[in-house]
Amino acid sequence: MAIVSLTRVVHFSASHRLHVRALSGAKNRALFGKCNNPAGHGHNYTAEVTVTGEVDAATGMVFNLDMLKKILNDTVLKRLDHRNLNVEVTAFRKLNPTAENIAIEIHRMVQKHLPKTLKLEVKLFETPNNSVVYRGEIK
């Protein structure tokens, strides 16, 4: 059976502040730069969400794209778009909303709605030049 990957792209805008309380203000500014701005600042994020699995013999599809679109609307867009991540997203009340952690959170939210037979990968662009990938791997 052929294994194929299917990707849907979703764009969202959100603000955040990256800050580690255990570090000094100077160290936070050095570590996070503009992302440490006390009042926060925004990014236009792009998430490429890829599901990989067997092509169904009857439908010819790996997964229904309309369903994937609905899942992304109900998770990524509904919970993250135009939000202050530190304040409005429970996962980031204590967790630094870095691109890494946002990708992990998107993976967690989307995975809940997918069949266990599909592999999920989230590639998150914080800027056109900077991206992270999370495939659900933990150590």
105 close to 134: Cβ distance less than 8 angstroms: no
Which region holds residue 92: left if phi is over 0, alpha if psi is between -120 and 50, else beta? alpha
Say how far apart CA 81 and CA 30 lie, in whole Å: 28
Which residue number places its CB atom closest to Zn ion? 35
- Cβ nearer to Zn ion, comparing 14 with 62: 14
The residue range among 3-11, 30-38, 56-64, 84-92 that interacts with Zn ion, by the rule CB under 5 A, is 30-38
Question: Residue 35, interface with Zn ion (CB under 5 A)?
Answer: yes
Residues identified as active-site: 35, 82, 126
Number of residues counted as binding Zn ion (CB under 5 A): 1
The residue range among 28-36, 55-63, 82-90, 128-136 that interacts with Zn ion, by the rule CB under 5 A, is 28-36
Rounded least distance, CB 24 to Zn ion, Å: 19
- Sign of the Cα torsion 99, 79, 107, 109 reads positive
DSSP state of 134: E
Question: Where on the chain is the footprint of Zn ion (CB under 5 A)?
Answer: 35
